[in-house]
Amino acid sequence: MSNPEIDLGKVFNDPGGVRLDEGQRLGLAKGVLIVLAIIATGAMVAHGHWPDNKGFADSFELIKIGALPLVTLVISFYFPKSHS
C-alpha cells in the first residue's frame, strides 16, 4: 500500500492557511454543541436509569464537571452580551 505525499501548498493556495467565514464558524460551533448535547443527555439518562453503575456515574460526573462549562463557554463566545 503506497502512501503518496500531499503538497498542502497546492491544496490550500491562501498563504494564511484555511479560513472560515462567520457563518461557517457558527455552523461548526452549532455542530459541536449538538454533539455535546447528545452525549450529555445520553450520560444523564444512563445515570438516571442505572444509578449504581460506577461507569455511568463517572461519565455523568465528567459531563457535569467538564462538558457543561465548555458549552457555556462556547455559547458566551458566540453570543456575547450586547450593549445598545
The tens digit of pLDDT for each residue in 39-75 reads: 888 888 988 899 899 988 888 888 888 887 887 887 7
Residues 5-42: tens digit of each pLDDT: 777 666 666 666 667 677 887 888 888 888 888 988 88
| Full domain range(s) for residue 62 | 21-78
Residue 61 lies in a domain: yes
Q: Can you give the pLDDT at residue 12?
A: 67
* C-alpha distances in Å from residue 59, one per residue of 5, 12, 38, 66, 69: 40, 39, 13, 10, 15
Q: Chain-wide mean pLDDT for the chain?
A: 79
Residue 1 lies in a domain: no
Specify the pTM: 0.60
Residue 54 lies in a domain: yes
Residue 9 lies in a domain: no
Residue 59 lies in a domain: yes
Residue 58 lies in a domain: yes
Residue 5 lies in a domain: no
Number of domains the chain contains = 1
